[in-house]
Amino acid sequence: MAVADSGAEPTVIADKLDIIYKVIAGQGGKGTAATALRRILKRQDRPTIREVHAVKSVSFTAYKGDAIGVIGRNGSGKSTMLRAIAGLLPPAAGAVYTGGQPSLLGVNAAMMNDLTGDRNVVLGCLAMGMSPAEVQSRYDEIVDFSGIGDFIDLPMSTYSTGMAARLKFAIASAKTHDILLVDEALATGDAEFRIRSERKIKELRDQAGTVFLVSHSLEVVQETCNRALWLDAGVLKLDGPVEDVIQAYLKSTRS
Partner 1 sequence: MPTAAEPTGVTDPAVLAERYGLSKSSIRPPLGSYLRELWSRRQFVLSYATARTYAMYAGARLGSIWQVLTPLLNAAVYYLAFGVLLGTKNGIDNYVAFLLSGIFVFTFTQRCMTEGSRSLALNLSLIRTLHFPRATLPLAYVLNELNQMLVSLAILFVVVGFTDGPQWRWFLIAPAMVLQMMFNIGITLVFARIGTFVSDITQLLPFVTRTWLYASGIFFSLPYKLEQLHAPSWVVQVLAFNPISAYIDIVRRSLLEEHKRNQLPHAWTIAIVWSFVMLAAGFWYFWRAEDRYGRG
The answer to whether 112 contacts partner 1 (rule: CB under 8 A) is yes
Kindly tell me which residue out of 31, 90, 149, 241 binds partner 1, with binding defined by CB under 8 A.
90
Stretch that binds partner 1, among 50-58, 69-77, 98-106, 219-227 (CB under 8 A): 98-106
Least distance from partner 1 to the Cβ atom of residue 1, Å: 7
Around 48, how many Cα atoms within 13 Å sit in the side-chain half-sphere? 9
Alpha-carbon distance 243 to 227, whole Å? 8
Residues 143-182, mask of contacts with partner 1 (x by CB under 8 A):
-------------------------x---x----------
Closest-CA residue to 91 (of 100, 99, 80): 80
195's enclosing H/E stretch is: helix 191-206
Asked if 117 contacts 138 with a C-beta cutoff of 8 angstroms, the reply is: no
Alpha-carbon distance 243 to 255, whole Å? 19
Task: Write the DSSP symbol of residue 150.
Answer: G
The answer to whether 119 contacts partner 1 (rule: CB under 8 A) is yes
The answer to whether 124 contacts partner 1 (rule: CB under 8 A) is yes
Interior CA angle at 218 toward 215 and 224, to 5°? 80
83's enclosing H/E stretch is: helix 78-85
Kindly tell me which residue out of 91, 189, 209, 234 binds partner 1, with binding defined by CB under 8 A.
91
Alpha-carbon distance 253 to 99, whole Å? 35
- Our CB check for partner 1 shows the closer of 117 and 246 to be 117
Kindly tell me which residue out of 38, 48, 93, 97 binds partner 1, with binding defined by CB under 8 A.
97
Residues 15-44, mask of contacts with partner 1 (x by CB under 8 A):
x-----xx-------------x---x----
Q: What is the residue type of 66?
A: D
Q: What is the residue type of 222?
A: Q
Alpha-carbon distance 184 to 41, whole Å? 40
Kindly tell me which residue out of 52, 128, 218, 233 binds partner 1, with binding defined by CB under 8 A.
128
Stretch that binds partner 1, among 99-107, 199-207, 208-216, 236-244 (CB under 8 A): 99-107
The answer to whether 13 contacts partner 1 (rule: CB under 8 A) is yes
Stretch that binds partner 1, among 108-116, 142-150, 218-226, 242-250 (CB under 8 A): 108-116
Alpha-carbon distance 44 to 56, whole Å? 25
By CB under 8 A, name the binding residues for partner 1.
Answer: 1-7, 9-13, 15, 21-22, 36, 40, 59, 61, 83-91, 95-99, 101-106, 108-112, 114-115, 119, 122-124, 126-129, 131-132, 168, 172
